[in-house]
Structure 1
Amino acid sequence: MTSLMGDFFSRDYYSVLFAVVVVALGILLNYTVRSAQGISDLLRGSKKKHSWKENKEPLQTSRCSICETLLVTVESFYCDMCGVCADVQCLKKANNTVKCKRMFTEVIGPLKHSYIKGNLPVGSECAVCHEECGHDFRCIWCHMTVHINCKKMLAEKCDTGKYKNFIIPPSSVVQTFHRINIGRVSVTHEIREPEWSQNRWTPLFVLISRKSGSKFGGEVISAFRGILNPLQVIVLGEQDPSLLCQWLDLLPESAQPIVLVGSGDGGIAWVLTTLHKLQKKKYPPVGIIPLGTGNDLSRVLNWGSKITTPFSVQEYLEHLQKAKEGYLDRWEVNYKVFKRRGLSLNRPHQYFMYNYLSIGVDALVALNFHETRNNRSYLFGSQLRNKLMYLIFGTQQVLDRECKGLEAFIELYLDDERIDIPELEAIIVLNIQRYGGGVDLWNLSSGCDSNQYPRQAINDEKIEIASAASSFQLAQFQLGLSEPTKLGQAKKVKLVLKKRIPMQIDGEPWMQPPGQIEITFANQARVLLKD
């Protein structure tokens, strides 16, 4: 009887708990949708002239830029481009009366200060009298602060401030309208070098997705929009990535642009390949904001394993100013798929590799994670939770061993010489010194084996090839408890696959049909190394 009652209450408890969770998720979803629709509803009848965001954590001193009400206990919004704040009642008025950052100009001439009132950083000092500022004015371009009474003593001309080398001022982007015929107008742009540049202008372009970094990408986007011209921040998934190519084409020859990518290894590889396909004599070097799960390339280039929170855009720009340019080997990966009577005569599929390529169990784990993450019902998001999911799928392969005996279905050739391979569940081709979330795989080996090959480097036009015996051994690599079998170092690698096998390049996995894969040196990508 007691057992039956225990079972009943146990079932009843879990039923209630499940109902509470469902209701809580429903409330959260309803709040999220309502918040997203709220700004559009409040601005109904007006054209949206700012990039409004909900002010979820207002500072104790935050005030509405219109009525000057404290925003600590009321629903409020802010523009992540110019910084204007408004409560619900003043949102429409702020949208219509306060000027936001302009991306371009129709009038050729020097940029003038554009001021927003209030919400100054703590410790702000007047640019004229050097006394502390309170509820005074701030320029949305150079971020200089000034008293109301001192503003008239300040020159109108604005040089965009401390980080001017990174900024494309709107006065440098000239927009021209050409009437083609009735009802049709052609718009052209021209980017001119700022008058102060003296051939030292390094305009910065930031490519980032809101979903990156456990959806922390949105905060990083807002931070850069507050400093740069909004056209310099390209939001992947919302804007066409080809915008980057268009703006680069418009820059004068004297400009020395740089690109900053907020993403994981796969997203960074995509940007490097896109720039390569522009086929320009000189394309911009690329820096990294580590917003992925593994961030192996970011670690190698000294940008770290993850971003620090809260994110400081000023700190990042300081690092960019001191960053050194380097080169990263780019490897061309071509594969042909086997047909029933031999190799396909179709044009080979082409990829480019920057970090590593792997075949076998680690690619299978990545594929399972990738498919789960892309599922609409996926609720995980943080870097830690993503790593936990990797651990779960890796543990599953310790038990299932779906890639056991893989050596019977692979032929490996290094510099055209066939290599005998041991029993394995994965082959890993390395271009950089980090793999699988920070493991220095090639240097895990000890003894004479570690001295058999030249030192690994990202720009030596060589790649390293190693194998793992099982998913369990891959987990041991993470703890430094095991070492891979080194198969060699080469300038050219060929793999023959005799069945469908999981494969990944730079964290992007898929099932690879039987066929032939060739990896050859292509050229080098320009990258930025954090000093």
Structure 2
Amino acid sequence: YCIFQKTGPRKKCIACKIVAHTACIGLLEQKNLRCKPSFREAGVRNYREQTFMRHHWVHRRRQEGKCKQCSKSFQQRFAFQSKDIIAISCSWCKAAHHNKTTCFMMQQIEEQCTLGIHAGIIIPPSWIIKLPKKGSFKSSIRASKKRKASLKKRRSRDDAKPFIIKPIPSPLLKPLLVFINPKSGGNQGAKLMHKFCWLLNPRQVFDLAQGGPRFGLELYKKVPNLRILACGGDGTVGWILSTIDSLNISPPPPVAVVPIGTGNDLGRTLNWGGGYTDEPISKILCNVEEGQVVQLDRWNLVVESTISTGGDVIEPEDGLVDALPLNVFNNYFSLGADAHVALEFHESREANPEKFNSRFRNKMFYAGAGGRDLLKRSWKGFADHIKLVCDGVDLTQKIQDMKIHCLLILNIPRYASGTLPWGNPNAVGFEPQRHDDGFLEIVGFTYSSLATLYVGGHGERLMQCREVKLTTYKSMPMQVDGEPCKLRPSCIKICFRNQANMVMKPKRRGSMPIANDPPSVPERLRIQVSRISMTDYETLHYDKDKLRDASIPLGIIVVENNADLEQVRSQIDKIQESLKNGQHNSDNQELSPKWCFLDSTTAERFFRIDKAQEHLHYITDISSEDLYILDPDLVTVSRSSTFLKVENGHSSPTNNNNTENYQPDQEKENGNLYFLLIDAAKRGDIRKVMEVYHHGGQLLAADQYGMTALHHSARFGHKNIVSFLIANAPPVILDMVDHEKGQTALHKAAWYQRRTICHMLVDAGASLTRTDYQGNTPRQQALKAEDKELAAYLENQEHFQLVSSEDQETAV
């Protein structure tokens, strides 16, 4: 579509991934090359008719997966400026075909689209009808004055509604609304917005920063079997549930969670995990569709101001409020030491929001503020200024005797990023906690019990009750579902409100037995465990074969085929204990405490399994032959010749087939080849580089500073060696970074003003947006080197790469 220009700003559609110059967008309409339809027009004839749903075929210059017709993979064009169309795929069902007549015929253009694997949750465009403008439809029946007045009122209400929904009910459909909070946690919302709009109808995905959830809920409130997916923290979920209450939607739609907040305690309770990492969105959508609907108790908070008693003198303070930030809570309500830390965090984030842009930083602030408050013991006399009555029983004297510093009223088992303050009680009079039993758990904390909470401890259990009356005699910090404030002396009454419908993440269905099948006898599986470093995972996780080759064997475990990942973790820990105790001579590095499982079978790439969700996955769900784990602290070195086997709790050494025929002379020769390659790249000796390559030298080899031959040849301006390495080395060499500065070969070439080499690297597909340890891109390196022409070229290419790095497509 770039008839008039070949450069300039470009835009990419998040719904169908078509890329066009900003100035050329108008040409798409003229050529009838439109985006995939997300609604239908309300014409006179088709206002009540169901339209025919066709495929939306798009030319693709890059395509993952295999051809639907011939089942062969798509050949990728790695040249950056390649214009070849290799595939034709549908933006709705994601079916892809090779761009040749044997795989794609013209008759397929008019075929009906099935909407793909997510057809059960996608809202089809035929349901969403765009309302006509005033005066588009005229009735031949003359209206009376009263009818005219009622029509005017109705039109005034409908003016703000550009669409209406005309659903076709079906028990097989569970239409989904997605609400994304872009400000939650680590600011992951923008990336999720693009992914959901690509997989679903963009009209069913809403940005909560644009007016909140009310518009979407009100538009779709009459759709049967509706489900909601809340992408955000616990506060986002509470916001949506309160809006559902205010709109009186009956029955209330069940809500699932993608936890991208800081604490995510409700997400943990419903098995959605403590934070979103890199789980495929398609898998999340399947879990939302299949998940079981459960109930969540919700509680009212009624605040009444009181006059200070007991001789306390109220001094004027800044920041005091007369009401709580929320009048309903789903997770917990607390006051005292923990609320003081939450209030300090909230005030700091409001003052400097740019410093709190990641979940890890937020938790580090909480840890630091909590440690300072622990040392100061600023809430030592907390229990002397409150009165607590639960179901008519006065507990004031009990909490004063305990000398608690914090009071927690809990509705769900999880609190403060996954801790269990109620624990697992065995004492008489206390029941295990549930989120749907109509009871609140009252827990008190001293500073010592708060400190042990994060290592498996619990608070002082006080009572399980249905109503709470709490009176405070001095202003003190409080928090409701993580929203803090400092409240004046008040009387707070807590009572049951209603139950909300929630979606609990299911266990993997592939491993569940079929109802009519006879009970199977558990079989024992012998599985090799291999670990992968974080560097290899980030570089190769889209290429399963290369990632398998980069894995390092750790040992062999023998488990039952119906074992979940929590049981498998205990077996792997036994391998680690054997290594720590030195029972076997092994050069294997110790496992990091932060290691996690990798799913190597479900999706087209590897992805991490959250530790909080390990009980939901079976061993056979995530591994077919070998079991892979991610070790973030692993340093990739030469592989050990022995590894361990664990069977029935006992470990034994096993030889590694890859190093069975180990020869010291061969390792010495490989070391010499590595040295010769780096030295030849520095000196510009192309003959020596080719000779080393033909003798089996690894072109990806790096020196002690992490610099490859491509780094050195780009730095010293050896164009012939750069060209040879681009042609013969794996493409991953383009984005390998050194240890000292975290720079790629393109960074080096830009700093030393090697313009031709920059062109060569960009044409080969080197990343223009990767930043070094100082946050500089190659363009910024060129600016620092005062080469404005090179910087302008890199800026132009950088903008193009941003909008077309994932796909380069045009409409059919």
TM-score bracket for this pair, using the shorter chain length: 0.7 to 0.9
1:226-273 residue CA offsets vs partner (Å, 9 max, x unmatched): 11111211101124421122222353xxx2110011111111112112
Distance 1:353 1:380, change over 3 A: closer
1:171 deviates by 1.7
Aligned: 1:170 with 2:147: no
Kindly report which structure 2 residues correspond to 1:343-358, keeping only aligned pairs within 5 A, or say none.
351-358=327-334
Aligned: 1:521 with 2:513: no
In 2: Cα distance, 1:495 partner to 1:409 partner: 11
Contact 2:54–2:113 (CA under 8 A) maintained in structure 1: yes
Aligned partner of 1:458 among 430, 435, 440: 435
Map of 2:90 onto structure 1: 139
Map of 2:243 onto structure 1: 274
Contact 1:336–1:349 (CA under 8 A) maintained in structure 2: no
Map of 1:263 onto structure 2: 232
1:478-520 residue CA offsets vs partner (Å, 9 max, x unmatched): 122x431111110111100111111111111111111111111
In 2: Cα distance, 1:466 partner to 1:104 partner: 51
Distance 1:314 1:521, change over 3 A: same
1:199 deviates by 3.0
Aligned: 1:415 with 2:391: yes
Residue identity in the other structure for 1:370 = H
1:219 deviates by 0.8
In 2: Cα distance, 1:331 partner to 1:264 partner: 19
Q: Provide the secondary structure at the position in 1 that maps to 2:163.
A: strand
Distance 1:517 1:208, change over 3 A: same
Structure number with the higher strand fraction is 1
Aligned partner of 1:193 among 167, 170, 178: 167
1:163-219 residue CA offsets vs partner (Å, 9 max, x unmatched): 1111111122122314259xx99565332335xx63322111111122223111111
1:156 deviates by 2.8
Aligned partner of 2:483 among 504, 508, 512: 508
- Tell me the TM-score normalized by structure 2: 0.51
Residue identity in the other structure for 1:494 = K
Which is further off, 235-244 or 421-430?
A: 235-244
Distance 1:298 1:89, change over 3 A: same
Residue identity in the other structure for 1:361 = A
Aligned: 1:233 with 2:205: yes
Q: Provide the secondary structure at the position in 2 that maps to 1:206.
A: strand
Aligned: 1:160 with 2:128: no
Contact 2:309–2:473 (CA under 8 A) maintained in structure 1: no
**Unpaired runs of 5+ in structure 1?**
1-64
In 2: Cα distance, 1:124 partner to 1:96 partner: 33
Distance 1:250 1:341, change over 3 A: same
Contact 2:165–2:220 (CA under 8 A) maintained in structure 1: no
Kindly report which structure 2 residues correspond to 1:76-475, keeping only aligned pairs within 5 A, or say none.
77-86=11-20, 98-106=33-41, 108=46, 109-127=51-69, 130=71, 132=73, 135-148=86-99, 149=101, 150-154=104-108, 155-179=110-134, 186=159, 189-194=163-168, 198-251=170-223, 255-309=224-278, 311-339=279-307, 351-376=327-352, 378-419=354-395, 420=397, 421=399, 422-443=402-423, 449=427, 451-470=428-447, 473-475=449-451
Residue identity in the other structure for 1:287 = A
- Tell me the TM-score normalized by structure 1: 0.77
Distance 1:328 1:382, change over 3 A: same
1:366 deviates by 0.7
Question: What's the C-alpha RMSD, in Å, of the aligned pairs?
Answer: 3.2
Contact 2:255–2:502 (CA under 8 A) maintained in structure 1: yes
In 1: Cα distance, 2:323 partner to 2:194 partner: 43
1:340 deviates by 6.9
1:75 deviates by 8.4
In 1: Cα distance, 2:449 partner to 2:324 partner: 34
Identity, % of aligned positions: 30
Residue identity in the other structure for 2:439 = K
Residue identity in the other structure for 2:106 = K
1:49-81 residue CA offsets vs partner (Å, 9 max, x unmatched): xxxxxxxxxxxxxxxx869xx99xx98653222
Contact 1:338–1:514 (CA under 8 A) maintained in structure 2: yes
1:386 deviates by 0.8
1:297-340 residue CA offsets vs partner (Å, 9 max, x unmatched): 1111000111122x421111121222111001111111111257
Distance 1:179 1:95, change over 3 A: closer
Residue identity in the other structure for 1:117 = H
Q: Provide the secondary structure at the position in 1 that maps to 2:302.
A: strand
1:88-109 residue CA offsets vs partner (Å, 9 max, x unmatched): 8977766986422333111541
Contact 2:420–2:458 (CA under 8 A) maintained in structure 1: no
Residue identity in the other structure for 1:399 = L
In 2: Cα distance, 1:274 partner to 1:249 partner: 11
Contact 2:63–2:74 (CA under 8 A) maintained in structure 1: no
In 2: Cα distance, 1:410 partner to 1:236 partner: 38
Q: Provide the secondary structure at the position in 2 that maps to 1:522.
A: strand
Map of 2:316 onto structure 1: none
Residue identity in the other structure for 1:216 = Q
Contact 2:262–2:363 (CA under 8 A) maintained in structure 1: yes
1:347 deviates by 11
Highest CA radius of gyration, 1 or 2? 2
In 1: Cα distance, 2:474 partner to 2:308 partner: 12
Residue identity in the other structure for 1:170 = P
Q: Provide the secondary structure at the position in 2 that maps to 1:528.
A: strand
Residue identity in the other structure for 1:226 = W
Distance 1:302 1:347, change over 3 A: closer
Aligned residues: 448
Q: Provide the secondary structure at the position in 2 that maps to 1:223.
A: helix
1:140 deviates by 1.3
Aligned: 1:492 with 2:497: no
Residue identity in the other structure for 1:199 = P
Q: Provide the secondary structure at the position in 2 that maps to 1:334.
A: strand
In 2: Cα distance, 1:489 partner to 1:297 partner: 20
In 1: Cα distance, 2:295 partner to 2:354 partner: 37
Contact 1:190–1:250 (CA under 8 A) maintained in structure 2: no
Contact 1:120–1:138 (CA under 8 A) maintained in structure 2: no
Contact 2:300–2:329 (CA under 8 A) maintained in structure 1: yes
1:376 deviates by 3.8
**Unpaired runs of 5+ in structure 2?**
76-85, 137-155, 311-321, 507-812
Residue identity in the other structure for 2:466 = K
Contact 2:326–2:480 (CA under 8 A) maintained in structure 1: no
1:444 deviates by 6.3
